[in-house]
Amino acid sequence: MKKLVFCLAVLGSIFTGCSSSDDNNDTPVKQPVTGEISANITANKTYAYGNYTLKGMIKVSSGVTLTFEPGCTITCDKSTGENGLIILNGGKLIANGTADSPIVFTEKSKVGGSWAGIIMYGDAPIVNSATAATPQTAVSEDGLNLTYGGSNAAHNGGSLKYVRVEYAGQVITSNSKENNGFSFYSVGSGTVLDHLVAYKGNDDGFEFYGGTASLTNAISYGNSDDSFDWQDGWRGQENTNWYAYQTGVANYGIEVESKSVDNAFWPKVTNITLRRAAGTTTEAQSEIQLDAIQFKKEGNGDYSNIVIDGYVSQTTPSAYNGGVIQIQDKATYDHQVAAGKIKLNNVKITNSPITFISGVPASFTVTAASFVPASNWTTSTTATGAALTAGAWATVDGVNLLAKL
């Protein structure tokens, strides 16, 4: 009898072994912490999942790593003064969010141009002059007046994945104190830049100042200047899946320049979608800034699988031609177009009546035949452009940023 009771007890424990807590999946929900980031980061620091206030132009020192856990939200307030996050050369930013838990940098007023965005420095190569010895350097245009450039092509500034920067692009003085959503000064190929969003800034969404870093799976949405921009001989090679949506006020989809230096190298970008909403006007009425891609000052590159839509001429408040490709100056035409250093292949064009625009002076005319060999310019009706997957990383205030993709 005792054996029977014991066996029944064992069987009972087997069939009732799962607790009600297991049945209800009552795993404790991780609660976000709160805090303030108001001092320079001079020792390794990790910010746990939470909501933080960023106050001031915060610098991450050389040799120091700053880490944010997935799901962090970092908010500035322009009423407190100038704010931004600066990773100095030798420092690292590790901000690896996920599609469902992105890391978001934003500003309280939700007005473009309210803060300086993320600024990263490295010592990868740049080109600042046709005659200067290497490694070449330059001084930043972000108001910090820091020197950038070097010979470390593999510079590693950290890892940014599923990061969104909102309402940045602070411009105080053009060309000497202006910022973007993301500013990369001579950042190297060891840096990971993947699934990034620049949202409704007052300057460029992304700008590269030389360097060798590559950008993958990127959205530039509603930025008032250029969606993607670079200078100083940027030469990233692994770029893919770029999507720009220009609306309201905007200039170029992509602006390409290289400090008037005829380089033997160029960047490479595949899978690009550039869309301009109806009624979008230029930022500065004194300039012709309506084109999908503009090449100037010896800018070049290899681009393929491109979708371009909505780049039409503007009639009000001023009349300007809009087009698909603008070559601004004759040196760029002679050395880059005619020499075969600008390659645009598998290009699908819709709602953009003018394909080529010649710059000033009007001593050259760009046509399809200008791109030699002919395989350097090919159009298509089947190009697919960028391929991106929706999620929280690409959603702002309930709006899916990929809805127009």
- pLDDT of amino acid 255: 97
In the chain, what are the domain boundaries?
Answer: 42-236, 246-396
With cut-offs at 50, 70 and 90, classify the pLDDT of residue 173. Answer: confident
- pLDDT of amino acid 360: 66
More confident call, 84 vs 286: 84
- Cα→Cα distances 360→4, 122, 254, 287, 291, Å: 100, 35, 19, 12, 15
CA–CA separation, 1 and 16 (whole Å): 23
- Look-up of token digits 């610098």: 59
For residue 81, pLDDT over 90 is answered with: yes
What average pLDDT does the segment 397-405 reach? 96
Q: Each residue of 121-144: pLDDT tens digit?
A: 999 999 999 988 889 999 999 999
CA–CA separation, 184 and 231 (whole Å): 11
Q: Each residue of 102-120: pLDDT tens digit?
A: 999 999 999 999 999 999 9
Q: Each residue of 17-61: pLDDT tens digit?
A: 433 344 455 667 889 999 999 999 999 999 999 999 999 999 999
Q: Write 149-152 long-range contacts (CB < 8 A, 24+).
A: 149/123, 149/124, 149/125, 149/186, 149/210, 149/232, 150/89, 150/122, 150/123, 150/124, 150/125, 150/126, 150/186, 151/123, 151/125, 152/122, 152/123, 152/124, 152/188
For residue 87, pLDDT over 60 is answered with: yes
- Supply the pTM of this predicted model: 0.92
- pLDDT of amino acid 172: 80
In angstroms, how far apart are the furthest CA atoms of the chain?
109
CA–CA separation, 196 and 141 (whole Å): 22
- pLDDT of amino acid 13: 41
- Which two structure tokens, joined as six digits, stand for 372? 């030699």
- Cα→Cα distances 18→10, 21, 22, 23, 26, Å: 14, 8, 6, 7, 13
- pLDDT of amino acid 54: 98
For residue 10, pLDDT over 80 is answered with: no
State the chain's mean pLDDT as an integer: 92
Q: Each residue of 294-330: pLDDT tens digit?
A: 999 999 999 999 999 999 988 877 777 889 999 999 9
CA–CA separation, 166 and 175 (whole Å): 21
Q: Each residue of 211-255: pLDDT tens digit?
A: 999 999 999 999 999 999 999 999 999 999 999 999 999 999 999
Rounded to an integer, what is the distance from CA 3 to the centroid of its chain?
A: 72
- pLDDT of amino acid 15: 36
Q: Each residue of 178-217: pLDDT tens digit?
A: 999 999 999 999 999 999 999 999 999 999 999 999 999 9
